[in-house]
């Protein structure tokens, strides 16, 4: 997608990101949770894990995506996770 900039996740954005899923099926597909939504404090908690780097995609000053890198230095691996746009 042209013009998308990645920026570190700001916890102040969690409330907005929490509204992006609109059904329990979407929540489950995104986060493996069995709820009808993901509370903003859960998203903030994910981003604070030691082995996680969370980012947002921004176009024209508008946040359009969220995603995480799950770091595994022991294995020398990085996994893309919880991608949502």
Task: Render 20-70 in DSSP notation, one character per residue.
Answer: S--SHHHHHHHHS--SSS--HHHHHHHHTSTTEEEEEEEETTEEEEEEEEE
**CB of 23 closer than 8 Å to CB of 36:** yes
Q: For position 1, what pLDDT does the model report?
A: 54
The overall longest dimension of the chain from CA atoms, in Å, is: 38
**What is the pTM (predicted TM-score) of this model?**
0.88
Instruction: Please report which confidence band the pLDDT of residue 2 belongs to, taking 50, 70 and 90 as the band edges.
Output: low
| Structure token digits, residue 4 | 């998308």
Cα separation, 14 vs 62, whole angstroms: 14
8-48: per-residue pLDDT in tens? Answer: 999 999 999 999 999 999 999 998 989 889 999 999 999 99
């Amino acid at each position: 997608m042209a013009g998308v900039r990645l920026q570190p996740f700001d916890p102040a954005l969690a409330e907005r990101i929490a509204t992006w899923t609109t059904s329990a099926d979407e929540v489950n597909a995104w986060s493996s949770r069995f709820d009808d939504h993901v509370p903003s404090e859960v998203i903030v908690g994910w981003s604070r894990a030691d082995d996680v780097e969370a980012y947002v995609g921004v176009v024209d000053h508008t946040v359009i995506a969220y995603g995480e890198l799950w770091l595994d230095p022991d294995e020398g691996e990085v996994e893309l996770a919880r991608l949502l746009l």
